[in-house]
């Protein structure tokens, strides 16, 4: 825990933001009454205005009552970096995987299996507590990439099971196929739908199977009543909260750069939707998160 935290290599940073978009950072909101965790974030992204360094981002998050994050890889480089950051900062745990939109590209270059072996090696590190994000994305990847996506998804499922760690699923326009794959090969004990995008029907399936549903800023959007319905249906012990930063900034800041310190906006909206006292929801979310990933505290994890 003493090595200095790695700054993202310039080449690792991907730029977001579009010309003309308001890219100023919202204020740090009032802190949540009970500290909790951001279940899914990408700290390596550059957002087009300032370079919010990972450590500063984590400091801001702490000030807002977000005491820890799961830093998620999407390819080999970001997965390695995520594992390094987690090894160097007690506020970070890592998830490692090849994103479903990356897998078909790697397959086409003949590199998929070598990269999966390296993900498998990283998954054994003590502060890597999830395989993710993996899954299926039929929105950005066409029919021709489907086979590679499914192959990569199944291998990631095996890696999560072999290491006894959680799995974070990226599911975009692919609910039925994701569920079918999980039922066919058997889901890891701790399976999380990251940025849950289903409706009440999928929430009921998750309830029945004991799969976790992680709600992102999308649940605050005006055009997302189905997500709020799903949240209301979800078993309280299966809900989680995340930012998926730098994307999906919650209202009232939709479109501006996201970071873990903005998670309270989503959590407050979740409490409203559930008609639940905020402190009770925060305690529930913190407990659920620790149940999925284990403790962030290096001492406790070693004990
Ligand atoms: Zn995703
Ligand atoms: Zn993500």
Task: Report the candidate in 172, 244, 253 with the shortest Cα–Cα distance to residue 220.
Answer: 253
Beta carbons within 8 Å of 105's beta carbon, 6+ residues apart: none
- Angle, alpha carbons 96-98-102 (nearest 5°): 155
* CA 63–ligand 1 middle distance (angstroms): 26
* CA 58–ligand 2 middle distance (angstroms): 17
Ligand nearest to the CA of 135: 1
pLDDT digits (tens, 9 = 90+) for 187-215: 999 999 999 999 999 999 999 999 999 99
Q: Which fold has domain 36-302?
A: TIM Barrel (3.20.20)
pLDDT digits (tens, 9 = 90+) for 222-272: 999 999 999 999 999 999 999 999 999 999 999 899 999 999 999 999 999
Ligand nearest to the CA of 42: 2
* CA 303–ligand 2 middle distance (angstroms): 31
Task: Report yes or no: 92 and 71 within 8 Å, Cβ to Cβ.
Answer: yes
Ligand nearest to the CA of 169: 1
């Amino acid at each position: 825990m003493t090595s200095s935290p790695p700054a993202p290599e310039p080449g690792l940073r991907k730029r977001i933001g579009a010309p003309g978009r308001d890219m100023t950072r919202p204020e740090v909101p009032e802190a949540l009454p009970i500290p909790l965790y951001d279940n899914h974030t990408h700290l390596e992204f550059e957002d087009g205005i300032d370079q919010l360094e990972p450590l500063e981002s984590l400091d801001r998050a702490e000030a807002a009552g977000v005491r820890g994050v799961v830093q998620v890889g999407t390819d080999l480089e970001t997965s390695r970096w995520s594992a390094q950051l987690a090894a160097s900062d007690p506020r970070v745990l890592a998830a490692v995987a090849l994103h479903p939109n990356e897998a078909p590209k790697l397959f086409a270059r003949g590199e998929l299996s070598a990269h999966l072996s390296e993900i498998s090696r990283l998954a054994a590190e003590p502060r890597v507590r999830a395989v993710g994000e993996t899954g299926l994305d039929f929105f950005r990847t066409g029919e021709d990439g489907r086979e590679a996506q499914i192959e990569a998804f199944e291998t990631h499922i095996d890696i999560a099971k072999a290491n006894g760690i959680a799995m974070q699923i990226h599911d975009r326009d692919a609910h039925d196929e994701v569920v079918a794959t999980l039922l066919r090969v058997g889901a890891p004990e701790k399976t999380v739908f990251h940025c849950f995008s289903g409706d009440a029907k999928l929430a009921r399936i998750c309830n029945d199977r004991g799969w976790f549903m992680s709600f992102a800023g999308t649940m605050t959007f005006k055009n997302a009543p189905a997500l709020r319905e799903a949240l209301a249906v979800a078993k309280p012990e299966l809900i989680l909260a995340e930012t998926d930063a730098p994307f999906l900034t919650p209202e009232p800041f939709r479109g501006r750069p996201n970071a873990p310190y903005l998670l309270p906006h989503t959590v407050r909206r979740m409490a409203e939707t559930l008609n639940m006292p905020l402190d009770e929801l925060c305690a529930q979310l913190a407990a659920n998160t620790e149940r999925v990933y284990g403790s962030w505290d290096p001492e406790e994890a070693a004990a």
